[in-house]
Amino acid sequence: MKVQVLGKGCAKCKTLEEHVREAIAELGIEAEFEKVSDVETIARMGVMTTPALAVDGIVKSSGRVLTKDQVVDYLKKG
Amino acid sequence: MWRSFVDAFVYGSLGLPPESGLGSALDFFIYDTVKIFFLLVVVIFAVSTLRSFFPPEKTKKLLEKLPEFVGNMLAATLGIVTPFCSCSAVPLFIGFIEAGVPLGVTFSFLVSSPMVNEVALVLLWGLFGWKIALLYVASGLVVAIASGFAIGRMRLERWVEDYVWAIRGGAIPVERLGWKDRFLYALGYVGEILGKVWPYVLVGIAIGGFMHGYAPAGLLAKYAGPGAWYAVPLAVLIGVPLYSNAAGVIPIVRVLMEKGMALGTALSFMMAVTALSLPEAIILRKVLKPKLLAAYFGVVALGIMLTGFLFNAIV
Per-residue pLDDT of chain B (315 residues; tens, 9 = 90+): 778 888 888 888 888 888 877 888 888 888 889 999 999 999 999 989 988 888 888 888 888 888 889 999 999 998 888 766 677 788 889 989 988 899 999 999 999 988 888 888 898 998 889 999 999 999 999 999 999 999 999 999 999 999 888 888 766 777 788 899 899 989 988 998 898 889 989 999 888 888 887 888 777 777 777 777 899 999 998 888 876 667 888 888 988 888 889 999 999 999 999 888 888 888 899 999 999 999 999 999 999 999 999 999 887
Q: Under an 8 A CB cutoff, do B92 and A59 touch?
A: no
| Interface membership of B282 toward A (CB under 8 Å) | no
Q: What DSSP line would sit under B196-228, residue for residue?
A: HHHHHHHHHHHHHHHHHHHSPTTTTHHHHSTT-
Give the SS3 label for residue A2. strand
Catalytic residue among A1, A10, A25, A29: A10
Q: How far apart are CA A56 and CA A48, in angstroms?
A: 19
Q: Under an 8 A CB cutoff, do A39 and B188 touch?
A: no
Q: What is the pTM of this model?
A: 0.86
Cβ-based burial of B205 (10 A; exposed 0-12, middle 13-18, buried ≥19): buried
Q: How far apart are CA B135 and CA B279, in angstroms?
A: 27
We report the CATH number of the domain holding residue A42 as 3.40.30.10
Print the domain residue range for A70.
2-77
Domain ranges of chain B: 2-314
Q: Are B275 and B114 in contact (CB under 8 A)?
A: yes
What residue in A sits closest to B95 (Cα-Cα)? Answer: A48
Q: Are A65 and A10 in contact (CB under 8 A)?
A: no
**How many angstroms away from the CA of A3 is the closest CA of chain B?**
17
Query: B176: how many CB neighbours lie within 10 A of its CB?
Result: 6
Residue A59, phi then psi, degrees to nearest 5: -70, 125
Q: What share of chain B is helix, strand, coil (3-state, %, to 5)?
A: 75, 0, 20
Question: Which one of A47, A60, A70 has the shortest CB-CB distance to B91?
Answer: A47
What's the total number of domains in chain A?
1
Q: Under an 8 A CB cutoff, do B55 and A62 touch?
A: yes
Sign for the CA dihedral angle at A56, A61, A65, A68 comes to negative
